[in-house]
């Protein structure tokens, strides 16, 4: 399922961008799905969390509004069809280095802090994803502190 959606995303993004799609679309889709998972972890998706997902994806991947909307639409479909996190984290592990994966963990934290409350379910999910991405505990904590500081400064 994930491969078919990844191919669909690549083709649709190529049409929107007027260019050729590349392997990077897979990890973008996987990242978007993980960010959506954080918004749903506490069973309450707030507008602040939704905005944080859009902002994180837009800034991290430098997407146009059309590309961003398409990515989120496809990530929602993939998220809804997924039975576990492994397919997402495997794609990211195959595509990104340690520093980039640490940045994704920071994005997860930023979404978790977006509504002003860190729920234990959100923290548990981010710990699980961090382990699946083979990000060290030190990087996990550093990413959390950076996101918390940003949330404090903006809130």
How confident is the model over 76-114, as pLDDT tens digits? 998 888 888 999 999 999 999 999 999 999 999 999 999
For residue 136, pLDDT beyond 80: yes
55-to-62, 70, 75 alpha-carbon distances in Å: 10, 14, 15
Q: What residue ranges define each of the domains in the chain, with the CATH number in brackets?
A: 2-154 (1.10.3680.10)
- pTM comes to 0.83
pLDDT in tens, 45-88: 999 999 999 999 998 999 999 999 999 999 999 888 888 899 99
Give mean pLDDT, residues 119-141.
97
4-11 contacts, C-beta under 8 A, 24 or more apart = 5/29, 5/74, 5/77, 5/78, 5/81, 6/91, 8/74, 9/70, 9/71, 9/74
For residue 14, pLDDT beyond 80: no
**Closest residue by Cα to residue 106 from 117, 116, 98:** 98
What average pLDDT does the structure give for the chain? 86
Q: Which residue has the higher pLDDT, 2 or 93?
A: 93
């Amino acid at each position: 399922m994930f491969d078919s959606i990844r191919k669909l995303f690549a083709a649709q993004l190529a049409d929107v961008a007027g260019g050729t799609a590349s392997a990077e679309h897979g990890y973008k889709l996987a990242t978007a799905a993980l960010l959506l998972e954080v918004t749903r972890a506490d069973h309450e998706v707030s507008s602040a969390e939704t905005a944080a997902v859009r902002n994180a994806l837009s800034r991290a991947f430098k997407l146009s509004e059309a590309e961003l909307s398409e990515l989120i639409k496809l990530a929602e479909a993939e998220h809804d069809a997924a039975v576990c996190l492994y397919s997402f984290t495997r794609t990211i592990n195959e595509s990104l280095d340690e520093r980039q994966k640490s940045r994704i963990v920071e994005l997860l934290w930023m979404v978790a802090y977006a509504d002003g409350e860190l729920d234990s379910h959100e923290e548990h999910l981010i710990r699980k994803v961090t382990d699946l991405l083979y990000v060290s505990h030190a990087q996990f904590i550093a990413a959390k502190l950076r996101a918390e500081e940003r949330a404090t400064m903006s809130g």
